[in-house]
Amino acid sequence: MAYDDRSVKPMSASLMRARIATKILAGLYEEAPTLLTSAIRLMVELPGGKKGKGAPYPFTIGVSPAWCSGLNGAKLVASGKLDLVWLNPTAIPSMAVRGVGPFTKKSPLRALAVFPSWDRLVIAVSPRLGVNSMEELIAKKPKMRVSIAVNDCVDFAIKYLLKCHGITQNHFIKWGGKVDEVVRPSNPHRREGIVSGKLDMVIDEGMDSWGDVAVQHGMKFLSYSEPVLKKLEAYGFTRARLDHGRIDGINDPTTVVDFSGWPIVVHKNFPDELAYNIARVLEKIRKEIPYDATETPSMKQLCTDTEAGPLDFPLHPGAERYYREKGYL
């Protein structure tokens, strides 16, 4: 049986169902997010086989951040088990492509676009600790209550950050303290702990959800030492300034590592025509879709390296062709 996209009309049953299905999915996420957050993926039957002939083949988009937006998402795309995912931060696919950090071999990943999402991996401490660096804190070994993220996007990064300082999460417990693990940086218990003063330290990203309240309650964001920064860079991270960034009130010179960007990631063998048309669709819907940014990014920002949307691994050739044709590259 032959499949021909030219037979699909603007109000065809196929397009009506596609629009209804995606709206139902979005509505379910809004109404019952915990029901779906770890389970949803979208599957589309593309006309023709991968060589242009035969029955439709499944094209799968990973939606749920709980299982496919971090290290696992990069591995699933590299292995062909998922076709398209949003990864956060850009550092993850960048490391995967280079075969560094948590990736033991190079992965054939490519970007269709990168959405802006300014962020940093940081350590914030209560003023009562009286320290200006992690080295000072480790020398003191204070009893603390520490809030740490444990999810597939940041867990590996926090573990390596602590390793670069010669400690692990268990050291906080050995010093007589307690570790509060949260899946999301926006966990309300974290904000409550900062406001009440019960929390002494936060190690995480997702600063938009807790950085402001930390500043308001006098927490200090520690600058990483040069030896630690060099270790983090060798692992695959990029150093970045935290001061005078997206969180108001952090004005002292503070150097940490970048945790920005939401790239749309596919395998290098992703069909060129599909990559080209996804880029074309992004231009059409660019002003209608949400972003983790204060304003709608331009098309040029979606396909080039920026502070809020780093892009230091290759674009997919199909998407790149569209951007070049339109003059965005």
pTM of the model: 0.88
pLDDT given at position 50: 52
Indicate the average pLDDT of the chain.
Answer: 88
166: which 2 tokens? 């010669």
Q: Distance (Å, rounded) from C-alpha 34 to C-alpha 248? A: 32
Mean pLDDT of 265-284: 92
Q: Which domains are delineated in the chain? A: 5-118+261-325 (3.40.190), 120-258 (3.40.190.10)
pLDDT tens per residue, range 65-106:
667 789 999 999 999 988 999 999 999 999 999 999 999 999
Answer yes or no: is pLDDT of 290 > 70: yes
pLDDT given at position 253: 94
Answer yes or no: is pLDDT of 35 > 70: no
- Decide: 167 and 186 in contact? Cβ < 8 Å: no
Q: Distance (Å, rounded) from C-alpha 97 to C-alpha 124? A: 31
pLDDT tens per residue, range 181-204:
998 898 999 999 999 999 999 999
pLDDT given at position 55: 46
Long-range pairs for 210-216: beta carbons < 8 A, 24 or more residues apart: 210/185, 210/186, 211/122, 211/124, 211/247, 211/250, 212/247, 212/248, 212/249, 214/124, 215/247, 215/248, 215/249, 215/250, 216/249
165: which 2 tokens? 């300082």
- Chain center to CA of 218: 27
